[in-house]
Amino acid sequence: MFRLRGHHLLCLPGYRGMGYSPEYVANMTRLHQALRQSPNTEIVLVEGPDDLCKKFPNYLPYHCEDTNIYQRDAAILAQLGVAIGEHVAWGELEKAIAQNMIPNDIHTLCHTCSWRSYGVCVEGLEDIRSGKGLYIVE
Ligand code: SF4
């Protein structure tokens, strides 16, 4: 079981092994691989910092509790039709993403995110919509 906040449900499909620090990447890769290998893994949807935020490096500007990040979380959960406190299998969340998100949503929901310009989040969303699932990150 992992604890995830709303916007990270869209970051995971776009994950290609990039991140804020080696420790952050190691943690995200472990979580990402677990979900890809076992889509029935239970996710608890949480408000605020989650199992990815906990490895955000303390030497970078902390944004995990910024108001606009909470707003992004809420908008994504609402669009997916799920709510804080729910326990949902990752595979079910992939289905919700496929049914309720289009690639252009990344540009509206995540317009202030610095990772958006890499294009991988749009690609990841396309992969989920086409049934490919999560990208293989070694
Ligand atoms: S643009 Fe940023 S917040 Fe949006 S899915 Fe990508 S990494 Fe996550």
- Helix ranges (H only) for 41-119 are 67-80, 90-100, 105-109
Spacing, Cα 1 to ligand 1 middle (Å): 22
Per-residue pLDDT of the chain (138 residues; tens, 9 = 90+): 999 999 999 999 999 999 999 999 999 999 999 999 999 999 999 999 999 999 999 999 999 999 999 999 999 999 999 999 999 999 999 999 999 999 999 999 999 999 999 999 999 999 999 999 999 998
- Asked if residue 121 has its Cβ within 6 Å of ligand 1, the reply is yes
- Give how many domains the chain has, as a whole number: 1
Cβ neighbours, 10 Å, residue 32: 22
Rounded distance from Cα 116 to ligand 1 centre (Å) = 6
Residue 10: half-sphere exposure toward Cβ, Cα within 13 Å:
33
Q: Which helix (H) or strand (E) holds 98?
A: helix 90-100
Q: Which domain holds residue 22?
A: 2-129
> Residue 78 domain-assigned?
yes
The verdict on pTM exceeding 0.85 is yes
What is the rounded distance in angstroms from the CA atom of residue 38 to the CA atom of residue 33? 8
